[in-house]
Structure 1
Amino acid sequence: MSSSMAMFDWLRATARWLQQFIISVPLHIAGPAMIIIGALDSSLLSLPEINDYLVVMRCYSEPREIFYFPLFAALGSVIGCTVLYTLSRRGGQAVLRARFRAEHIERVERAYARFGPLALAIPALLPPPMPFKIFVATAGALEYPRWRFMMTILIARGIRYYVEGTLAIFYGTRVLLFIRDNGLMIVSGVASAGFIALLVYWWYKRRAARATIGANAEDAKAARAAEP
């Protein structure tokens, strides 16, 4: 109990120090620092909500930086996730199963098989406590295409941080309280949007397949008619 409390106190003190540092330093220092923090949090360390917290605080204190500061956090997340992805890709299932429970891995693998890129994009969009590193590590073990992986993380995390930063300009730190208090609603909303996107994607692919079959049938019919 005492060790967990000590860890919590350390995380809280670290977050407080990082907040003061990120807010007080100029952008040419805060930007690279945000990339490093994002990379560490997404790979080797785990500082829950730290990226969201720092993006909100910086954009709240410096509204003019909303156009580019969230990008630093997104780039850091891409770097950190790519490190974890690479380690899992090289180590394969052995590394994956040494870190995560087998039933959780199987559930994530089924999500990739069923939903494809959305299985990675939706968890990347959602704030903590949504588990995310298992999706990153599984993508590496499954040898998910590297550039597609990186672009998915960049787009999803970019959307997340830009939305948080924009809301912070108008609502301040209440954005963080809203995320904590309404996590289930956010998860449900994003999951519903993802499901709708999946249905649209499935409908589009089915329509394209039917069009291709129809075109091939017409070509075959024309070829038979042209035969002597």
Structure 2
Amino acid sequence: MIAWSASPYAMAALFIFAFWESSFFPIPPDPLLIAMAVGSPAMALIFAGICTVGSVLGAALGYVVGLKGGRPVAERLFSKEKILAAERLYHRYDVWAIGAAAFTPIPYKVFTITGGMARLNFPRFMLASLLGRGGRFFLVGALILIFGPSIQHLIDQYFELLTIAFMVLLVGGFVAVRYAGRYLARREAAEKRRKALK
């Protein structure tokens, strides 16, 4: 895969690898993304964007495969252990398990196909895919853009830990915004009630 990084078709290859990895291809696009970003750090975020779009569209294909084929198709493609692991995460986190898939050793395609099999809400499934995969790829792109090729070893060694930290911050931000919105809504409703009583 790394040989593609110097090819004039590298960006197309990156998109294709990211697309198929989300539904059928067994090899993640991260090595190609890192190689391309290290070779051209100024383009790192563009490469991350290409990777994200390809991966999210591939996730949609995986969802449709799972939706139409159901458990029989999933069991032909994956071990029962992987399917059960994905289902446990769905049971606990619903569609947001897709975000967790960014830093689990379970292949992403297991989550996309079982997500369709479980008939998860599709718009939320796509949003979770965008946040999870975008967070993963843009983290890589941003690190290489900021620190240059010297960061490659750190990414290779601590990638899962860095991804977990990013996702914790991302989820924490969404939770904070959600609760802040509820708090402001309650304050506004209480203020309206006080005015109505005057």
Distance 1:149 1:81 in 2: 9
TM-score for the superposition, normalised by structure 2:
0.74
Q: Does 1:172 align with 2:154?
A: no
Q: Return the alpha-carbon distance in structure 1 between the equivalents of residues 80 and 93 of structure 2.
A: 20
- The offset of 1:206, in angstroms, is 9.4
Q: Mark the CA change 1:96 to 1:207 in structure 2 (over 3 Å): closer, same or farther.
A: farther
**Is contact 1:70-1:158 (8 Å) kept?**
yes
Alignment-derived partner of residue 91 in structure 1: 69
5+ residue gaps in structure 2?
194-198
Number of residues of Structure 1 aligned to a counterpart in Structure 2: 189
Distance in structure 2 (CA, Å) of the matches to 1:199 and 1:151: 15
How far 1:136 moved relative to its partner? Answer: 1.4
* Matched AA of 2:2: R
Q: Check if 1:141 corresponds to 2:117.
A: yes
User: Distance in 1 between the 2:174 and 2:80 partners?
Assistant: 27
Equivalent residue letter for 1:56: I
Question: Contact 1:60–1:165 (CA<8 Å) still a contact in 2?
Answer: no
> What is the aligned partner in structure 2 of residue 17 from structure 1?
3
Provide the identity percentage: 25
1:77 is displaced (CA, Å) by 0.8
In structure 2, give the amino acid aligned to 1:20: A
Q: Which has the larger radius of gyration?
A: 1
- Residue by residue over 1:121-160, the C-alpha shift from the partner in whole angstroms, topping out at 9 and shown as x without a partner, is 1213x3x745322211210101112232223212322222
Amino acid across the alignment from 2:6: Q
Q: Which residue of 2 aligns with 1:107?
A: 85
Query: What is the rounded CA distance, in whole Å, between the counterparts of 1:155 and 1:192 in structure 2?
Result: 12
TM normalised by structure 1 equals 0.65
